[in-house]
Structure 1
Amino acid sequence: MELISPTVIIILGFLALLLFFQRKNLRGPPCIRGWIPWIGAGFEFGKAPLEFIEKARIKYGPIFTVFVMGTRMTFVTEEEGINVFLKSKEVNFELAVQKPVYRTASIPKDTFFTLHEKLYVTIKGKIGTVNLYQLTGQLTEELHEQLEKLGTHGTMELNNFVRHLLYPVSVNILFQKGLFPTNERKIREFHQHFQAYDEGFEYGSQMPECLLSHWSKSKKWLLALFEKNIPGIKTYRSAKDNSVTLMQTLLDIIEMERNEEKSPNYGLLILWASLSNAVPVAFWTLGFVLSHPSVHKTIVEGISSVFGTAGKDKIKVSEDDLKKLPLIRWCILETLRLRAPGIITRKVMKPVQILNYTVPSGDLLMLSPFWLHRNPKYFPEPEVFKPERWKKANLEKNAFLDGFMAFGSGKYQCPGRWFALLQIQICIILILYKYDCSLLDPLPKQSSLHLLGVQQPEGQCHIEFKQRK
């Protein structure tokens, strides 16, 4: 029997070693699979997803995969993974959101891909930093109109208080003046259906519509509202300056691409995008300000120094006025830090290497702004509401603090972020100028049930407001 030569043994040994390292390098992150086929860890994950993410990070390390409802979600929590999420050409935003967009707004994949880039650039230009302050007068006027309807005093649940201000203001400015109903019954109907759609949006983005009858009913009601009003939105012109609204500009692009039949669907998507985060951010900001007496006092003193002490005048708010009241903007950004979205996502198109792991194509790569904002490396005393930390940000150049990702990051950051910030700033100025406000309940905790968008409150919180004398 012929012995194997030493050379062959060395070659075979080398190949075995090479295969070992290749297999090691192709090792995927730790995977939490659960024990039920297809559902995976869905039940445990769904009970409190934010808490689940943090417990998994502590147990499995900075990168781990969760298998839920047939989908692999790989979470990254440290710098190397975050850099891949933000900078890799092998991960894609549009592929990650195409299915949720179809389920929640019934916009087909081909239509979404054809129009997304053009619509994104248009929104970014129309309500971005260049044109933003042209809207201050309109925002101020609309908010005065809604504040008048609240009367001179009252008590109200804080979320409803904010909704009664921002729902009509956003609809009338972004779509068409007068589109928001003025009849009390129709206002209640709009509130009922939008809240049902918004509260069920996360489930609607993941589950077949046939399993969500209540949510589906509200979705269809909102689509019918836009279908009825799209012709009027197209032809509307402002009586003051003949300007066009954001939705009118978008309709021109949609029609140019011969997708007129999807105009109501885009109306619904823009409506949700404009209200779903702005309302809870305004809720939490007012709640935090009123819960911190020194912050509240400083803001009211600042408003009085700029606009006077009386609360009856219909003041006008300019860009210069906003610059004199930086604490309000700091409070909004600090609120966004503390109540940031649970996740933002990309789809892995080709395998990517993170630390010693390979994340396979097809995975959804997940980043949690909520937990990133609680990293003491970026934000010392992360659980404390400290608006003064934003002094260090270069907000005049529209630069946030390092590690801040409430609006996402990279190519497809939220295109309406500057409009939302402006709207909430002016809203808070006018409320605290006109009214003495106080909370009647402790500020509730954030709900742990949702991952999409700004965190919602777990319970109710009432506000008392009295017109200043």
Structure 2
Amino acid sequence: MSIWSIIVAFVFFASILIAKKMRMTTRNLPLGPPRLPIIGNLHQLGSKPHRSMFKLSEKYGSLMSLKFGNVSTVVASTPETVKDFLKTNDAECCSRPYMTYPARVTYNLKDLAFAPYSKYWREVRKMMVVELYTAKSVKSFRHVREEEVASFVDFIKQSASLAKPVNFSQKLMKLSGSVICRVGFGISLDGSKLANTYEEVIHGSMEVMGSFAAADYFPVIGRIIDRITGLHSKCEKVFKATDTFFDQSIEHHLANENIKDDNDIIGMLLKMEKRETELGEFRLTRNHTKGILQNVLLAGVDTTSHTITWVMTNLITNPRVLKKVQAEVREVIKKKDDITEEDIEKLEYFKMVIKETFRITPIGPLLIPREASKDLKIGGYNIPKKTWIHVNVWAIHRNPNVWKDPETFIPERFMDSHIDYKGLNFELLPFGSGRRICPGMGMGMALLHLTLINLLYRFDWKLPDGMNVEDVDIEESYGLSCPKNVPLHLVPVLTQWT
């Protein structure tokens, strides 16, 4: 090869590198870690993407660029950067990217959680907030919560009389499932199509919808990869199980004329299907109803049960806090046998314990991805249209610049604090914020409060024989929600007023 050929080749490749660098500079994207060809940064996610992203953000910044296959993403990891997306630019950042398996599970995005921002989404959101998740609706289902919690307490009493450990992770799933089946579907969990598989189906659904699926990042070969890994078959399995359950619930309503339309959520939705007037520009179809019911089932059962489990985990591993919160609850209740939801208003330390649980063990450590609907400027960087936006709640809640001693469970940090979990304070975002905030927050919190008050008031708690506080596993598993990795087992002890 001649010297001129070498010079030409050198100039050619140098030009490519310079042009690439100039394009990156012109685009002015947030910083991010180096990428591998084809897969980008997917190899850096690990089994717990929220933790991996937090570590990367410590090096590359609170607003960080990542590439997942063909998809460009940014990750927001501090209250300031998250506020830019969820408040300042909420309208431009509240749509959803198309995600293959959530689309399948929600009847091609006919739900509320994964549907893209559109006129349809706005009408459904309005319907859910105005007709299904109002304070009046939450209150109307109070008797269901009280009956199911009373049944749960009876089971705990039997376990206490035998000094038998209770599998909290399992029994709280059953409690939440029983409440949601009655409130949402008008049928009992026992005897339903989900009776023997509800725990597996709920976990599987959340895992499928929270997965980083190859089909979303590699348009040509992604579905083949997901078939090899088993993700595709798992999605089909949970979809068929929940679809059969929805059909059973709908048939139950249609076959029983005595059931009032407003007795449960499915009844309300079926009533809307029959309306002559349309839902804005859209008519509610059976698949719309099923898509919405998918959100009701999964969010209602999974998040509430896991949050209560995490509260009890944090309390049993922090005896000082357990003793203090039980003292408050028992002082307020004062040996009442009939515990009401109004009692929560008087329990200040109890509320701090719940906030601290949301902070240190958030159920949704990564919010469902959003998508930029136009080119944006955030924090001095360019965010191109169609960029996926990940909000790392776990990183915010563990950030030492936001929280003192973030790895320690300290409910007192919320004393005299204005910070709440309802989406207005970006230091604490268990339910998200902005247009996409969880609409079922009130329904879930009502069950959480009533269950916890009963557990703390009526029983003392200890670890199974041979276990110490240090032996309690506090690791989370990953999915759309993050349940406790190892089930929590506790031994209830009857109090004198139980």
Normalised by the shorter chain, which TM-score bucket? 0.7 to 0.9
Secondary structure of the residue that 1:72 maps to in structure 2? strand
Alignment partner of 2:199 out of 191, 198, 223? 191
- Unpaired stretches in structure 1, ≥5 consecutive residues: 1-19
AA in 1 matched with 2:151: E
CA distance in 2, matches of 1:438, 1:128: 38
Matched, 1:343 2:366: yes
Instruction: Render the CA deviation track for 1:217-275: whole Å, top value 9, x for unaligned.
Output: 13211111111221324677999x98522332233345551412443333223201212
Q: Which residue of 2 aligns with 1:14?
A: none
Mean Cα deviation higher: 288-297 or 359-368: 288-297
Alignment partner of 1:326 out of 345, 348, 351? 348
Secondary structure of the residue that 1:436 maps to in structure 2? strand
- Residues 26-425 of structure 1: pairs in structure 2 closer than 5 A: 26-32=27-33, 34-37=35-38, 39-78=39-78, 81-86=81-86, 87-88=88-89, 91-96=92-97, 101-108=102-109, 112=115, 113=118, 115-125=120-130, 126-129=132-135, 131-153=137-159, 154-176=164-186, 178-182=187-191, 187-203=195-211, 207=215, 208=223, 210=227, 211-212=230-231, 213-233=233-253, 243-254=262-273, 256=275, 257-309=283-335, 313=337, 315-319=338-342, 321-340=343-362, 341-344=364-367, 345-393=369-417, 401=425, 403-425=427-449
Secondary structure of the residue that 1:252 maps to in structure 2? helix
Mean Cα deviation higher: 163-172 or 45-54: 45-54
Q: Contact 2:95–2:372 (CA<8 Å) still a contact in 1?
A: no
Q: Contact 1:42–1:69 (CA<8 Å) still a contact in 2?
A: yes
Secondary structure of the residue that 1:379 maps to in structure 2? coil
CA distance in 2, matches of 1:25, 1:260: 48
Q: Which residue of 1 aligns with 2:278?
A: none
Secondary structure of the residue that 1:365 maps to in structure 2? strand
Q: How many residues are matched?
A: 440
Q: Which residue of 1 aligns with 2:475?
A: 446
Query: Considering only aligned residues, what root-mean-square deviation do their CA atoms show, in Å?
Result: 3.4
Q: Contact 1:128–1:416 (CA<8 Å) still a contact in 2?
A: no
AA in 2 matched with 1:229: S
Q: Contact 1:171–1:179 (CA<8 Å) still a contact in 2?
A: yes
Question: In structure 2, do the counterparts of structure 1 residues 235 and 414 end up closer, same or farther at CA, with 3 Å as the change threshold?
Answer: farther
AA in 2 matched with 1:107: N
- Unpaired stretches in structure 2, ≥5 consecutive residues: 1-20, 216-222, 276-282
CA distance in 2, matches of 1:397, 1:193: 28
Question: In structure 2, do the counterparts of structure 1 residues 278 and 109 end up closer, same or farther at CA, with 3 Å as the change threshold?
Answer: closer
**How far 1:61 moved relative to its partner?**
2.1
The TM-score, its normalising length taken from structure 1, stands at 0.82
Instruction: Render the CA deviation track for 1:66-121: whole Å, top value 9, x for unaligned.
Output: 11132211112346532331221563323336655413323346994564323323
Question: In structure 2, do the counterparts of structure 1 residues 236 and 166 end up closer, same or farther at CA, with 3 Å as the change threshold?
Answer: farther
Question: In structure 2, do the counterparts of structure 1 residues 206 and 460 end up closer, same or farther at CA, with 3 Å as the change threshold?
Answer: same
Residue identity (%): 17
Q: Which residue of 2 aligns with 1:460?
A: 487
